[in-house]
Homo-oligomer: A and B are copies of this chain.
Amino acid sequence: MAIITLGTMAFDAIETPFGKTDKIVGGSATYVAYAASHLTQPLQQISIVGDDFPQEEMDELKRRGVQLEGVEIVKGQKSFFWSGKYHLDMNSRDTLITDLNVLADFNPVVPEEYQGADFLMLGNLMPSLQLSVIKQLKQRPKLIVLDTMNFWMETAMDGLLEVLKKIDVLMINDSEARQLSGEYSLVKGARKILTMGPRFLIIKKGEHGALLFHENEVFFAPALPLEDVFDPTGAGDTFAGGFIGHLARTKDISFENMKTAIIVGSALASFCVEKFGPERLKEITKKDIDDRLNLFVQLVNFEISLT
């Protein structure tokens, strides 16, 4: 089943306690595509780049079943660029540079050939752009997943609340859930957020795993304890790509299957952080992914016999 992804295709320059990179390819839609392409095709990107975005990256994505008709290439302009530095705990980072470049005038257009897609992944972007893509779709996708961040809660809350009414799954981190709900308790916060539109809420807690809330149910997914996190950039987008990729591959959007999808997303994210950029996502094979999924099963498996 086809997945439309709205997001950035961009450059990042990253500094971590383990090293630093010059400009490398990044962006939410890039990570989603590399992750989901291990699970399903086609992937239909909606993004914008300058003419500096490497042709070989486009070719690599196409080889993996990623359609790029919805990626606008603006001649004579530069792609979005972000530069950041991670602290030792890898959960917090400082943004050093944000050059919007082409993103400043992004007006996403859904190509005719994308119409009819069953899945829509709205990457972290201005809520009005996310809403615009939903409105352009003639037939509502079976599942709309949205990623957002604290920045939009501070600068575009009205737009965010509007788009939340139109989606099925919201993905945010724990501090964003507290900010959006005004509740410190994640359980109380989740209950409040589930009245704002989404029927499913995923709260990402980085190295502490993720929680999935739906009606009165909750699922706790572990994160794999890692020896080293080399570069966390893109881990959240990779998680999203693995999540929606699994749902599309299995054609099943039940709560039960979403639990599995979170494990698949976590497994892919655990590869992403092993090298700078999406490099590791390009290298891994189906066997690598299966082996890692088995690690997750071992990680949380226990026996309870009530006697």
Which A residues are within 8 Å of any B CB, using their own CB?
88-89, 184-188, 205, 208-209, 211, 217-223, 225-228, 256, 259-260, 262-263, 290, 293-294, 296-304, 306
Contacts and interface: CB of A to CB of B under 8 A. Distances in A.
Given A184-B89, A208-B209, A300 B303 contact: no
A141 to B, nearest CB: 24
Given A227-B185, A228-B185, A303 B220 contact: no
Contacts of A187: 225-227
A190 to B, nearest CB: 8
A114 B285 CA distance: 57
Given A302-B259, A303-B260, A184 B88 contact: yes
29 contacts: A185-B226, A185-B228, A187-B225, A187-B226, A188-B227, A188-B228, A205-B208, A208-B208, A208-B209, A209-B209, A209-B222, A218-B225, A219-B300, A219-B302, A220-B223, A220-B225, A220-B299, A220-B300, A221-B302, A222-B222, A256-B303, A259-B301, A259-B302, A259-B303, A260-B304, A290-B306, A293-B304, A294-B306, A297-B304
Contacts of A300: 219-222, 300
A182 to B, nearest CB: 13
A238 B168 CA distance: 39
Nearest to A289: B306
A217 to B, nearest CB: 8
Tell me the number of copies of this protein: 2
Contacts of A219: 299-300, 302
Nearest to A264: B304
A294 B306 CA distance: 9
B302 A186 contact: no
Contacts of A302: 219, 221, 259-260, 262-263
Nearest to A90: B184
3 residue pairs, one from A and one from B, having the closest CB atoms: A208-B208, A220-B222, A259-B302
A299 B185 contact: no
A265 B293 CA distance: 27
A26 to B, nearest CB: 24
A132 to B, nearest CB: 35
Contacts of A297: 304
B290 A296 contact: no
A294 B302 CA distance: 12
Contacts of A226: 185, 187
Nearest to A263: B302
A256 B227 CA distance: 23
Given A217-B298, A219-B302, A294-B306, 9 more contacts: A187-B227, A205-B208, A208-B209, A222-B222, A256-B303, A260-B302, A260-B303, A263-B302, A296-B304
